[in-house]
Amino acid sequence: MASSGFVQAAVLLLAVQLVCLGAADADQDTGTVIPAESRPCVDCHAFEFMQRALQDLKKTAFNLDARTETLVLRAERRALCDCMPTNSLR
């Protein structure tokens, strides 16, 4: 369940990257070329953004996994209590 959310988020990030690359190609078509010396900051910011997004995804996946585990244990306990007679629990 958590891995499905992780995959969806990864696909979303990939789509955003593709859109950004398409915008970069459009800028190059107009004839404005930015020298490489002035671009490292943009690349660093993009890398930092992607790193933070990945950390957020990992945290979300962990939280979902922990929540799922809690709900499964609660359901198992409820099913166990339903199978046992009430007087045997004391």
pLDDT at 60: 93
pTM of the model: 0.40
Q: For residue 80, what is the DSSP state?
A: H
**How do residues 43-74 score in pLDDT, each as one tens digit?**
777 888 899 999 999 999 999 999 999 999 99
SS3 assignment, position 31: coil
Q: Among candidates 87, 46, 64, which has minimal Cα distance to 8?
A: 64
Confidence of residue 86 (pLDDT cuts 50, 70, 90): low
| 75 pLDDT more than 80 | yes
Q: For residue 89, what is the DSSP state?
A: G
